[in-house]
Amino acid sequence: MKTMTIARAINEGLRATLASDPKSFIMGEDIGALGGVYRVTEGLAAEFGGHRVMDTPLAESGIIGTAIGMALRGHRPICEIQFDGFVFPGFNQITTQLAKIHTRSDGQLSAPVVIRIPYGGGIGSIEHHSESPEALFAHTAGLRIITPSNANDAYWMIQQAVACKDPVIVFEPKRRYWLKGEVDTENSPGDPFKAHVLREGTDATIVAYGPLVPVALAAANAAAEDGHSVEVIDLRSISPIDFDTVEASVNKTGRLVVAHEAPIFGGIGGEIASRMSERCFYSLEAPAIRVGGFHMPYPVARVEEHYLPDIDRMLEALDRAFAY
């Protein structure tokens, strides 16, 4: 066991991948000498050379599109998109090309491209640096989407993403890059597409992922002081979603709160709520309640504290669930 930040854990995971898979390489903007704007790739160019850690021209469609071509030739590109709000010039290549290659070729080709995207707010930044566009990608069949919430997952998930035969987007919770945790570099946490129950409870379930997992745990602790036993699930995978783990929990607790930073409308929370209303209708004591962002572009930093779901917003949602 080693203690490290999430950023460091991803760095170590990338290092392990580059060392073990000679076909793998990282491409993106400012990832070489600088080590990325969040220093996630720090030291890797010095260690593996510019050939394996490649500063690209400033062109997101170019990054994704050429990565597809390289994957078709048998290489394993790991693309870094500098910020969530800048993935959109590459959106076309991701959704119309990358996601569809396997099915368009009737299963003959695959393009196992990994795309790392730092996402989410809470860092006091300016516009386009704080968005949570995961639902836009989750809606596209052919992509897999995972998001670590702790250092151990961060270390393993990036390696598992590269090993996967399908394209994988890894959304990295940027405001948690400096969150420290224990990393077991010997034993993997298993299937990256499975949810983890982080805290057992009997009265309600909170499902969260990425940056909101620590918030959900804190809310569950606070609820315990009021005598409520709240189970917390770290979803880990946004596509596919491990509905079975959520279902088992909701059947046990009877109440469900789903939380994410992205706007509630059209978001992942609605998908989970709807599925659980189908699967657990007779177990539910209350309607599934969603906690998330408002239907507005991510607001200016001076007001983001009102936008981001915090402990109080989660407790308010739990209160509403308990009121039924």
Partner 1 sequence: MNTSGHGTSGVGASRPDAGTSAGVLRANVVGETDMVQLLDAHGKRHEEATFGPYIDALDAQTVRGFYRDMATVRRFDTEATALQRQGELALWVPVVGQEAAQIGSGSAMRSADYAFPTYREHGVALTRGLDLADLLKLFRGISNGGWDPREKNFHLYTLVLAAQTLHAVGYAMGIQRDLIAEPATEPAAVMAYFGDGASSEGDVHESMVFAASYNAPVVFFCQNNNWAISVPFEVQSKIPLVNRAGGYGIPGIRVDGNDVLAVYAVTKWALDYARDGHGPVLIEASTYRVGAHTTADDPTKYRPNAEEEAWKAKDPLERMERYLRAEGLADDAFFEQVKNDDDELAAHVRSATLALGGADIRQKFATVYAEAHPLVAEELAWFENYQASFADAETPQGGAA
The rounded distance, in Å, linking the Cα atoms of 145 and 156 is 14
Query: In angstroms, rounded to a whole number, what is the distance separating the alpha carbons of residues 164 and 166?
Result: 5
Q: Does 287 bind partner 1 (CB under 8 A)?
A: no
Tell me the closest approach of the beta carbon of residue 168 to partner 1, in angstroms: 10
What does the per-residue mask of binding to partner 1 show for 95-134, with x meaning CB under 8 A? -xx--x-xxxxxxxxx-x----------------------
Q: Is 222 helix (H, G, I), strand (E, B) or coil?
A: helix
Neighbours of 120 (CB within 10 A): 28
Q: Binding partner 1 by CB under 8 A: which of 5, 92, 185, 229?
A: 92
Question: Any catalytic annotation for residue 196?
Answer: no
Is 77 or 201 the residue whose CB approaches partner 1 more closely? 77
Fill in the DSSP letter of residue 165.
S
Binds partner 1 by CB under 8 A, chosen from 32, 36, 142, 173 = 142
Question: Total residues at the site for partner 1 (CB under 8 A)?
Answer: 50
- Is residue 177 within 8 A of residue 5, CB to CB? The reply is yes
Handedness of CA 27, 33, 37, 41 (dihedral sign): positive
Angle (deg, nearest 10), helices 6-20 and 151-163 = 30
Q: Active site residue: 75, 102, 129, 260, which one?
A: 129
Q: Nearest distance from residue 32's CB to partner 1, in Å?
A: 13
Binding mask 247-276 for partner 1 (x = CB under 8 A): ------------------------------
Shortest approach of partner 1 to residue 152 CB, angstroms?
23
Q: Which is nearer to partner 1, 34 or 58 (CB)?
A: 58
Q: Is 196 in the site for partner 1 (CB under 8 A)?
A: no
Q: How far is CA 173 from CA 119, 121, 123, 134, in A?
A: 5, 9, 11, 12
Q: Compare residues 90 and 254 and give the one whose CB is closer to partner 1.
A: 90
Q: Is 69 in the site for partner 1 (CB under 8 A)?
A: yes
CA pseudo-torsion sign 282, 283, 289, 290? negative
- Give CA separation, 5 vs 12, 33, 133, 155, in Å: 10, 21, 24, 10
Positions touching partner 1 (CB under 8 A) are 22, 25, 51, 56-57, 59, 61-62, 64-75, 77, 89, 92-93, 96-97, 100, 102-110, 112, 141-142, 144, 164-166, 193, 239-244
Q: What residues are labeled active site?
A: 129
